[in-house]
Amino acid sequence: METDTDFTISHTLIHWYHSNKRELPWRDTADPYIIWISEVILQQTRVDQGMGYFLRFTERFPDLSTLAEAEEDETLKYWQGLGYYSRARNMLAAARTIADSFGGVFPSRYEDILSLKGVGEYTAAAIASFAWNQPYPVVDGNVYRVLARLFAIDTPVNSFKGKKTFARIAALLMNPEKAGLHNQAMMEFGALQCVPRNPDCTPCPLSHQCMAYASGSVASFPVKPKKTSVRNRYFHYLHIVHEGDTWINRRSGNDIWKGLYEFPLLETEEAVDFAGLQKTEEFRRLLKDTGIRSVSIELQNVKHILSHQALYATFYKIEIEKGNEALESFVRIPCGSIGEYAVPRLVDIYLEKSGRKVAR
Ligand code: SF4
């Protein structure tokens, strides 16, 4: 593609944007902190789903210094239900870095923004262009789709070659003097006009330039990336109860949900019933000499889909006569206070269904 020297596509997009954009609380601000929070929330999250989280989060943490001083547990609590919890942990780490290394002022240099934990090229470009009008094109899923159709690009977007191709074209289209507006317009155009399924191309202001439309092949673009395989995991949660108390654990390591709380968890390679679970070494160790009084299955085989993982979870409520040494490695809490802890959505579903959830 040749350089669009008159920036006609950019001009059309911006014109369209002024008439069609949604009024959103993070629009029309040049505050890099607010832009950053909104962009992180909107990664992997729809606007209608993320809106409440954005409002609650920015009400509690209205600026960088408030966030930098926050406890991780509290930020995760405000994130609860959004998924991809590393986003919240990384945001906290980045806020602390800005407080320690940038004098508490959000850095404006693209390379500095990109150096912050959890900030990739997309988010750095969004912040640099929306807050300071710097000419860095954003290339998210919406933009990939628009570009793939406009120029009938058949390279899968997740391939190395695809990323380079789309980044180059996005840069060529951008009017550097209107970088922020151009990026916002392009993203909104992908979200509202050039939608994934059956876009209404007839009134589209770019239909005369659109190669996919001209060739009647809109549905063929963008070319779908190859599917990655999904890993099945089998979770068995033990809601152990003794004298009104229960035990929970804060997840650590490099697995999902780091920093969130959950009941003692046994994971098996395959689906097993309670008889099979009882035979595992971990179950025996955990419940040894506790004098099990009763066991009930509260939720069985709940399917919970994450990216590249399918979890199948069963929740057992187990009443015991006394604690043991193994349980001492967990946090003992009154059953009624579980709602005060940030828990994964899966555990939240269980708490909701069993009426144990305490309002935030
Ligand atoms: S003509 Fe259709 S496919 Fe092409 S940019 Fe417009 S909405 Fe998208």
Q: Which domains occur in the chain, in start order?
A: 8-220 (1.10.340.30), 231-353 (3.90.79.10)
Report the share of the chain in percent with pLDDT over 70.
97
Task: Return the sign of the alpha-carbon dihedral for residues 39, 50, 313, 291.
Answer: positive
pLDDT score for 158:
77
pLDDT score for 43:
86
User: Pairing between strand 331-334 and 245-250?
Assistant: antiparallel
pLDDT score for 356:
61
**Confidence band of 157 (pLDDT split at 50, 70, 90):** confident
- Encode pLDDT of 199-257 as tens digits: 999 999 999 999 999 999 999 999 987 677 889 999 999 999 999 999 999 999 889 99
Residue 148 in contact with ligand 1 by CB distance below 6 A: no
Closest residue CA from atom 2 of ligand 1: 201
- Fill in the DSSP letter of residue 263: S
Residue of 195, 210, 217 best suited for mutating to test ligand 1, as the one with most atoms within 8 Å of CB = 210
Closest residue CA from atom 4 of ligand 1: 210
Averaged pLDDT for residues 90-100: 97
Residue 201 in contact with ligand 1 by CB distance below 6 A: yes
The tokens for 135 are 């000419």
CB 151 within 8 A of CB 9: no
User: Pairing between strand 265-268 and 261-262?
Assistant: unpaired
- Cβ burial, residue 304 (10 Å; 0-12/13-18/19+): middle
Distance between the two ends of the chain, CA-based, in angstroms? 52
Q: 355 vs 169, which has greater pLDDT? A: 169
The model's pTM: 0.74
pLDDT score for 160:
82
142: Cα separation from own chain's centroid: 16
pLDDT above 60: residue 101: yes
pLDDT score for 327:
95
Report the share of the chain in percent with pLDDT over 90.
82
Catalytic residue among 2, 23, 39, 281: 39
Active site residue 74: no
pLDDT score for 5:
64
Phi-psi region of 175 (alpha: psi -120 to 50; beta: other; left: phi over 0): beta
pLDDT above 80: residue 142: yes
Residue 193 in contact with ligand 1 by CB distance below 6 A: yes
The counts of H helices and E strands in the chain are: 15, 7
pLDDT above 90: residue 34: yes
Averaged pLDDT for residues 164-191: 95
Angle, CA of 329, 334 and 336, to the nearest 5°:
135
pLDDT score for 358:
44
**Confidence band of 4 (pLDDT split at 50, 70, 90):** low
pLDDT above 60: residue 359: no
pLDDT above 60: residue 360: no
- State which of 142-151, 227-236, 292-301 shows the largest mean pLDDT: 142-151
Residue 264 in contact with ligand 1 by CB distance below 6 A: no
pLDDT above 50: residue 29: yes
268: Cα separation from own chain's centroid: 26
